[in-house]
Amino acid sequence: MAKKKAWTVSQDPDLNVITVDFPDVRAGWEQWWMVSADRHWDNPHSNRRLQREHLELAKKRNAIITEIGDTYCCMEGRFDPRRTNVGVNVRAEHQRKDYLGALTRTGVNWFAPYAEQFAMFGYGNHETACLKNNSYDLISNLVEGLNNKAGTNIKVGGYNGYLRFKFRMQKTRRHTINVFYTHGSGGGGPVTKGTIQTNRRAVWNPDASIVLSGHIHEQWIMPLSRYRLSQDGVPYHDYQVHVQTPTYKEEYGDGKEGWHVERGAPPKPLGCQWFRFYYASDAIWLDTAMSFPMTTGGHMRELLLADDENPYARPDD
């Protein structure tokens, strides 16, 4: 039996803000949160095996999922200047005349078993480029298809935007956590891994307690301590937690060849970011968690590179 959803999601059509309400926070309460980006789900190098493993875990934990862009790779539309070798960069089931429609249909069917967990899908540069070059909105069509198929209430986010997590504690007290998300920009930097963006974003996002970003296919969590002054004139300390989400696209492979290898890029971390909100000492707390497979040798290679679906074997029509 499916667990009862412990949250609701709403969106003001005139504001770039999505609100998630948690109406029943009490002793023993907890809520898992999965943040993912850069799935590049339709690319043959996207690790669907690992994605499914994490989505199944999200169902088990009754987690809320927020997706902050580049769910799709979507580079092979007729008018897309990024088009390359269709046989290498397009999965077999997407090698059709209605390429973009096939991306939507297969995406809806693949994500539908997990639709109840999703609160929003945002845009990445791959989806905005598809909209620019092909006049096709993959994210809106995916969300509409999932909501129709699964009866869900998933929202369409932006490239940037705000999430507001609103907690009702012990039926009487309320607390709100503001989350700023951006798909991201730039190359990340081979040494800094994009961490210098934290202080830049902190300057123009003073109201966010959590800042999420993707795009550069790196993974880290960096808390910034802040010295604040309350509305009542009382000094206090708090945190702004900056979160960089990894990818599910394995581009390095065996390092023999390819665009990623030739430009000197290293292997990138695969997966998502996990968080756990919980209630203790009359306050909302946030645990961060990153998991890494530590088995060495051939088993590690199989785990990171294998796909439970052969991307080049076309299913029967």
Query: 306 pLDDT exceeds 70?
Result: no
Q: What is the pLDDT of residue 257?
A: 66
Shortest CA distance to 197 belongs to which of 228, 207, 187?
187
| 315 within a domain of the structure (yes/no) | no
Q: What is the pLDDT of residue 299?
A: 47
Q: What is the pLDDT of residue 267?
A: 81
Mean pLDDT of 186-196: 87
Mean pLDDT of 187-211: 92
What mean pLDDT value characterizes the chain?
88
Query: 315 pLDDT exceeds 50?
Result: no
Instruction: Give the CATH number of the domain where residue 252 resides.
Output: 3.60.21
Q: What is the pLDDT of residues 56-78, one digit of tens each?
A: 999 999 999 999 999 999 988 77
Contact 96, 39 (CB under 8 A): no
Structural domains of the chain, count = 1
- Least confident range of 78-82, 128-132, 240-244, 245-249: 78-82
Alpha carbon distances (Å) from 7 to 79, 85, 104, 163, 184: 41, 44, 27, 13, 27
- Least confident range of 57-66, 154-163, 203-212, 261-270: 261-270
Mean pLDDT of 264-290: 89
Q: What is the pLDDT of residue 67?
A: 98
| 311 within a domain of the structure (yes/no) | no
Tell me the range of 74-83, 95-104, 140-149, 242-251 where mean pLDDT is highest: 140-149
Mean pLDDT of 12-23: 94
Confidence of residue 310 (pLDDT cuts 50, 70, 90): low
Q: 68 is in which domain, residue-wise? A: 8-305
Confidence of residue 189 (pLDDT cuts 50, 70, 90): confident
How would you list the strands of the sheet with 283-289, edge to edge?
155-156, 118-121, 64-67, 30-36, 273-280, 283-289
Confidence of residue 314 (pLDDT cuts 50, 70, 90): very low
Residue for token pair 């309400």: 21
| 125 within a domain of the structure (yes/no) | yes
Query: 316 pLDDT exceeds 50?
Result: no
| 3 within a domain of the structure (yes/no) | no
Query: 107 pLDDT exceeds 50?
Result: yes
Tell me what percent of the residues of the chain surpass a pLDDT of 70.
88
Residues forming a β-bridge with 285? 278
- Least confident range of 31-35, 179-183, 188-192, 311-315: 311-315
225/305: higher pLDDT? 225
| 317 within a domain of the structure (yes/no) | no
Mean pLDDT of 27-56: 95
- Residue 307 token pair: 């796909």
Q: What is the pLDDT of residue 76?
A: 81
Mean pLDDT of 293-297: 61
Q: What is the pLDDT of residue 36?
A: 97
Residue 81: burial class (beta carbons within 10 Å; 0-12, 13-18, 19+): exposed
Q: 10: number of CA atoms within 13 Å, CB side?
A: 5
Q: What is the pLDDT of residues 146-176, one digit of tens each?
A: 999 999 999 999 999 999 999 999 878 999 9
| 103 within a domain of the structure (yes/no) | yes
| 142 within a domain of the structure (yes/no) | yes
Query: 54 pLDDT exceeds 90?
Result: yes
| 24 within a domain of the structure (yes/no) | yes
How would you list the strands of the sheet with 160-169, edge to edge?
8-11, 17-25, 160-169, 173-182, 210-213, 235-244, 220-229
